[in-house]
């Protein structure tokens, strides 16, 4: 299958490589000429055979809207656009309507895998019309992890990004729980090897997970996280999850508390947020703030 991929950053660049390894043709465009296969969006569209499929991997909001606006004028009826970034689900409905006027299909794909996706595969949560989703199945199969799991057609347009948003909200709460447990272990004098306690949990316990493995990785690199400042950003999806909970009268105390804990980290040097920052860096390559 042939695919145009827009945005070749940490995720997009690795996705291009994984899809190519599966035997598909990927032509990538990025504003950085050092990684781009073509010089412009227009050239990208010209090199693709109709009906075209374009996958967008750029930041949510203005950047995604700008790309959608440009593609709307470059593409033809029967083409399909996939938004694989972290867009808000309400934007998906808007983009689908804007492109639909021109006869262009739209699919939203929540993508999870971070900097490890090239090696391990990406979990994909997809929203859109069945005909458009079915057309993209070869690409989804190339990106997903090996085995029966890792891909779902979650529902209509917006369902993919809504599902990914909830996924990230759960991630917030899980990270917060590990961080709180780590701080408590570090605080008491009787526990002399906190890192090895975390390592011992990696097998045979109900709290084992990939996040726990990444926590151990981080502690191997900096045993007491002394090099980090206790400051953690939020991606925006945690906020959207809490807002959706309010709109739907669904109680989310753990996720909400974990979001507020990140806000608190910006007021002082929080030990827990050192672990949150370390985990975000481990799974997503997110920047951390080092101590002076």
Which residues are identified as catalytic?
A: 164, 171
By DSSP bridging, strand 123-127 and strand 105-112 are antiparallel
Distance of CA 162 to the CA centre of its chain: 12
The burial class, CB within 10 Å (0-12 / 13-18 / 19+), for 94 is: middle
β-strand partners of 152: 125
Task: Cite the beta strand spans of 123-257 per DSSP E.
Answer: 123-127, 151-155
Q: How far apart are CA 118 and CA 14, in angstroms?
A: 5
The burial class, CB within 10 Å (0-12 / 13-18 / 19+), for 30 is: buried
Q: How far apart are CA 254 and CA 261, in angstroms?
A: 11
Output b/e per residue, 257-290; b: 16+ Cβ within 10 A.
ebbebbeebeeeebbbbbbbbbbbbbbbebebee
Q: Tell the residue number behind the tokens 């996706």, with chain if given.
A: 117
How far from 212 is each of 105, 119, 215, 236, 278, CA to CA, in Å? 39, 18, 5, 23, 12
């Amino acid at each position: 299958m042939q695919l145009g991929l827009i945005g070749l950053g940490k995720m997009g660049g690795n996705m291009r490589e994984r899809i190519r390894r599966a035997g598909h043709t990927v032509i990538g465009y990025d504003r950085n000429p050092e990684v781009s296969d073509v010089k412009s969006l227009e050239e990208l569209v010209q090199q693709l055979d109709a009906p075209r499929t374009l996958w967008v991997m750029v930041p949510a909001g203005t950047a995604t809207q700008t790309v959608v606006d440009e593609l709307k004028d470059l593409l033809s009826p029967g083409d399909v656009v996939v938004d694989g970034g972290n867009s808000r689900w309400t934007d998906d409905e808007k983009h689908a309507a804007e492109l639909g006027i021109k006869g262009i299909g739209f699919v939203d794909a929540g993508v999870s895998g971070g900097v490890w996706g090239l090696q391990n595969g990406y979990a994909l949560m997809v929203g859109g019309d069945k005909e458009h989703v079915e057309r993209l199945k070869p690409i989804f199969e190339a990106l997903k992890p090996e085995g029966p799991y890792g891909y779902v057609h979650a529902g209509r347009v917006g369902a993919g990004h809504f599902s990914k948003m909830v996924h990230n909200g759960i991630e917030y709460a899980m990270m917060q729980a590990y961080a709180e447990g780590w701080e408590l272990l570090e605080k008491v004098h009787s526990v002399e090897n906190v890192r090895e306690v975390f390592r011992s949990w990696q097998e045979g316990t109900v709290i084992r997970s990939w996040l726990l493995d990444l926590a151990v990785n981080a502690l191997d690199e900096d045993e007491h996280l002394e090099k980090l400042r206790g400051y953690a950003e939020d991606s925006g999806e945690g906020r959207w999850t809490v807002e959706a909970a309010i709109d739907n009268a669904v109680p989310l105390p753990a996720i909400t508390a974990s979001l507020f804990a990140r806000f608190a980290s910006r007021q002082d040097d929080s030990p827990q947020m050192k672990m949150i920052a370390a985990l975000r860096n481990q799974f997503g390559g997110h920047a951390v703030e080092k101590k002076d």
